[in-house]
């Protein structure tokens, strides 16, 4: 064994010893022996394997086990499962080997954590199927998802060693699915870190800027916290309240998110600071009462902002979170958020349901968790649900708050905030939802898309003649309702697709043609559809008539002699064969400018309008056409999360051949001549073509948008810098997406 290997082995042993020493739940020697057995089993299985960073692979399972133990608070079986979580997927060991050595429960958890292997059809997403499989096990044992979150957290902490395009993909998947999942399970510390790390790798420059600004303000922040906290501490001590008080800035992601939502600069966010008061409860007084007593003491010192009180002690969040939040006016005219929690509430807030079990009374149930898992089971019971649709529906329901409504007989039903009468109908029964035509809310007739409020009493009106329509999907927000509607629609669509397929094949046969990817490449855009099935469906329902089929197929098609001439030139060495944007040696898709439309095998996404110089990724569809998105585009994040196997790294060719349409937003003071100055700088000084200009003034200011053509981001940034120099212009920025 070399000196390096000896050093590595010593470090691995040190980390494992640290895991054992800090194991809160290792109460017996038998527990420690089982964990040690799992460690040796995993070490042997991963022998010789290394991570992208170069370190021995076993370091990762140990780190995941530490997170599971120390940061989530799970027990011995979970630690063993964390140590073994990659063994079946990455080595020759099987689930049966795990069961023989560690029992059926650990084997079941490992099975839930092991990705699906095998062949799926082109329409399927391996990521979505893997996620659904994991949830199948989750509905029986929540530890599966908790260990998966620990695994994802360590991967995000060590993402530096991966190439940029993989960082973007994993960070996008994390913010799309795993951070919301941590939120739903009440794991606030993990959720916050996942959000921050995702931001760090998706937008590194923005992340560094916010970190620097928070660091620059650190001394002022500490002084403000001390000045703010001292009077509160005195008051709490005088009232015999045992407490801990801490102050910290909002997370980097929450600061960025607020800047995006409110379209403000860092300096304009008023509640950057949050003070947390965690008190030791007095067992003779309800915790809720103690929270409000502390609130009363604080507002004796500092005036509250009435619209910023959040009472989650009277009605806890769906994930079990309890606290009283208030925003008060502190020293120097600064708004400061105060969070008031008992010690029990604080542990649940940081560790979620894992901590909730610790405080559970004998015989009590985890009502909120059980309700959530029940909804997952209902969704999983529907075998026709497409994995991608399932992923979207599941994501949609992760962040929802809840309302309480009543049946005509007074039975209470819990629904997500924003739920409609149609959601309520499906909550009662799928048959009632499918036949619903209207509702009575508190005895008043309303439409099915009527949004419910807490306390409403709802009666559903049905008709046997009613058929499920596609627009009902816009009326529903719950997983259960959407899933039932999609199932009913699919049954009808399947029939239409079969009819349409038959009609198209017959028509092509008349032209002595067979269906092929080349033919569909022309038909899909011509009939403005996104897929073959959509085309079949529209043909089957009579929305698409195939009278112009021959004309469409002839369009942009070279004649035989032209094709022959091209071929002859290639053979004789007079010219080179055309390639449609071949990938480079590293598998990166290269966007070549200047190709004719029929030569292109890429399109620029309308949702984010990328231009040369933007950091971009590509999504390759079933016809090998690549759609180019900005890496920061929300649709790109969604695609990375759902179908990461189709996402490819992309680079631009560096030529100024084409001009790309971009939109900039501009505002400032409406002084005389400012509009003329703006158009002069754009058109005359910088020779940039303007497509449309829409500026309007009111109350002494002007604002609006300008659409113009640029070659790349360098030209755009140069334009913005020149516009910002104009007297009266206050802000200029690119509008990156057009909904």
Name the residues annotated as catalytic: 89-90
Hey, what are 607's tokens? Answer: 């949702």
Give the pairing of strands 626-630 and 602-604: parallel
Q: Contact at 8 Å (CB) between 316 and 349?
A: no
Q: Contact at 8 Å (CB) between 127 and 388?
A: no
Q: Please name which of 194, 160, 190 lies closest in space to residue 176, comparing C-alpha atoms.
A: 194
Q: What is the CA radius of gyration of the chain?
A: 30
Give the pairing of strands 660-669 and 729-735: antiparallel
Hey, what are 419's tokens? Answer: 């739920």
How far is it, in rounded angstroms, from Cα 109 to Cα 136? 11
Hey, what are 388's tokens? Answer: 């991608």
Q: Considering Cα of 198, then 201, then 204, then 208, what sign does the dihedral take?
A: positive
- 3-state DSSP: the chain helix, strand, coil percent, rounded to 5? 50, 15, 30
Tell me the backbone φ, ψ of residue 271, rounded to 5 degrees. Answer: -115, 55
39 burial class (0-12, 13-18, 19+ CB within 10 angstroms)? buried
- DSSP single-letter state for residue 623: T
Write b or e for each residue in 59-87: b if 16 or more Cβ atoms lie within 10 A of its Cβ, otherwise e.
bbbbbbbbbbbebbbbbbbbbbbbbbbbb
How far is it, in rounded angstroms, from Cα 213 to Cα 33? 49
Q: Contact at 8 Å (CB) between 52 and 97?
A: no
The size of the chain, in residues, is: 739
Partners of 731 in beta bridges: 667
C-alpha separations of 571 from 180, 261, 344, 408, 580 in Å: 57, 59, 79, 81, 19
Hey, what are 217's tokens? Answer: 């303000």
Write b or e for each residue in 193-225: b if 16 or more Cβ atoms lie within 10 A of its Cβ, otherwise e.
bbbbbbbbbbbeebbeebeebbeebeeebeebb
Tell me the backbone φ, ψ of residue 728, rounded to 5 degrees. Answer: 100, -25
Give the pairing of strands 701-710 and 660-669: antiparallel
- The 10 Å Cβ neighbour count of residue 400 is 17
Three-class HEC string of 457-511:
EEEEEECCCCCCCCCHHHHCCCHHHHHHHHHHHHHHHHHHHHHHHHHHHHHHHHC
**Widest pairwise Cα distance in the chain:** 97
Strand boundaries in 424-468, DSSP class E: 436-441, 444-446, 458-462
512: region left, alpha or beta (phi > 0 left; psi from -120 to 50 alpha): left
Task: Report the alpha-carbon angle 66-70-71, nearest 5.
Answer: 100
CA 610 to chain centre: 21
């Amino acid at each position: 064994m070399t000196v390096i290997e000896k050093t590595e082995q010593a470090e691995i042993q040190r980390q494992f010893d640290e895991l054992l020493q800090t194991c809160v739940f290792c109460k017996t020697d038998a527990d420690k022996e089982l964990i040690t057995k799992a460690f040796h089993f995993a070490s042997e299985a991963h022998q010789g394997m290394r991570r992208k960073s170069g370190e021995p692979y076993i370091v990762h399972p140990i780190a995941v086990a530490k997170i599971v133990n120390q940061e989530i608070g799970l027990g011995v079986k979970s630690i063993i499962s964390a140590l073994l979580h990659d063994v079946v997927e990455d080595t020759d060991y099987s689930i049966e080997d795990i069961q023989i050595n560690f029992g059926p429960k650990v084997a079941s958890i490992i099975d839930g954590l092991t990705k699906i292997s095998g062949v799926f059809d082109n329409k399927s997403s391996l990521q979505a199927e893997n996620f659904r499989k994991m949830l199948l096990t989750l509905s029986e044992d929540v530890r599966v998802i908790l260990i998966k979150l620990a695994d994802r957290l360590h991967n995000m902490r060590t993402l530096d060693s991966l190439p940029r395009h993989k960082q973007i993909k994993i960070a996008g998947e994390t913010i799309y699915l795993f951070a919301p999942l941590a939120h739903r399970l009440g794991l606030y510390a993990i959720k916050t870190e996942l959000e921050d790390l995702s931001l760090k790798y998706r937008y590194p420059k923005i992340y560094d800027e916010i970190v620097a600004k928070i660091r620059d303000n650190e001394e002022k922040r500490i002084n403000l916290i001390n000045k703010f906290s001292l009077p509160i501490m005195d008051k709490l001590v005088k009232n015999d309240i045992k407490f801990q008080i801490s102050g910290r800035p909002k997370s980097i992601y929450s600061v960025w998110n607020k800047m995006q939502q409110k379209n403000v600069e860092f300096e304009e966010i008023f509640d950057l600071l949050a003070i947390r008061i965690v008190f030791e409860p007095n067992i003779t007084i309800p915790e809720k009462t103690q929270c409000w007593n502390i609130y009363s003491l604080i507002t004796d010192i500092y005036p509250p902002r009435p619209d910023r009180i959040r009472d989650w002690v009277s009605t806890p969040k769906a994930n079990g979170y309890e606290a009283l939040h208030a925003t008060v006016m502190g020293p120097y005219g600064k708004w400061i958020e105060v969070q008031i929690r008992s010690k029990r509430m604080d542990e649940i807030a940081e560790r979620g349901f894992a901590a909730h079990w610790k405080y559970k009374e004998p015989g009590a149930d985890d009502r909120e968790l059980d309700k959530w898992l029940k909804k997952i089971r209902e969704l999983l019971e529907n075998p026709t649900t497409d994995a991608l649709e399932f992923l979207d529906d599941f994501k949609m329901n992760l962040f929802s708050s809840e309302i309480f409504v009543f049946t005509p007989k007074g039975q209470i039903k819990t629904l997500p905030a924003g739920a409609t009468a149609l959601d309520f109908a499906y909550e009662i029964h799928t048959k009632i939802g499918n036949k619903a035509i209207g509702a009575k809310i508190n005895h008043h007739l309303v439409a099915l898309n009527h949004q419910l409020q807490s306390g409403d009493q709802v009666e559903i009106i049905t008709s046997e003649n009613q058929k499920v329509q596609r627009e009902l999907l816009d009326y529903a927000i719950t997983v259960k309702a959407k899933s039932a509607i999609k199932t009913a629609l699919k049954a009808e669509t399947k029939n239409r697709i079969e009819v349409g397929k038959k009609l198209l094949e017959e028509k092509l046969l008349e032209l002595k043609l067979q269906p092929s990817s080349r033919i569909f490449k022309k038909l899909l855009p011509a009939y403005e559809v996104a897929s073959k099935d959509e085309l079949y469906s529209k043909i089957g329902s009579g929305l698409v008539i195939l009278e112009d089929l021959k004309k469409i197929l002839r369009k942009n098609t070279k004649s035989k002699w032209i094709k022959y001439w091209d071929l002859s030139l290639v053979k004789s060495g007079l010219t080179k064969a055309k390639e449609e944007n071949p990938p480079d040696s590293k598998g990166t898709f290269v966007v070549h400018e200047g190709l004719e439309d029929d030569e292109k095998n890429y399109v620029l996404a309308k949702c984010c309008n990328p231009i040369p110089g933007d950091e971009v990724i590509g999504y390759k569809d079933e016809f090998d056409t690549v759609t180019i998105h900005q890496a920061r585009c929300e649709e790109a994040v969604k695609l990375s999360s759902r179908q990461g196997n189709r996402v490819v790294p992309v680079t631009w060719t560096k030529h100024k051949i084409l001009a790309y349409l971009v939109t900039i937003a501009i505002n400032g003071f409406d002084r005389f001549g400012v509009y003329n100055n703006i158009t002069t700088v754009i058109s005359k000084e910088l020779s940039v073509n303007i497509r449309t200009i829409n500026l309007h003034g009111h109350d002494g200011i002007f604002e609006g948008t300008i659409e113009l053509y640029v070659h790349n981001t360098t030209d755009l940034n140069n334009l913005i810098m020149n516009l910002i120099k104009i007297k009266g212009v206050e802000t200029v920025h690119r509008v990156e997406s057009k909904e």
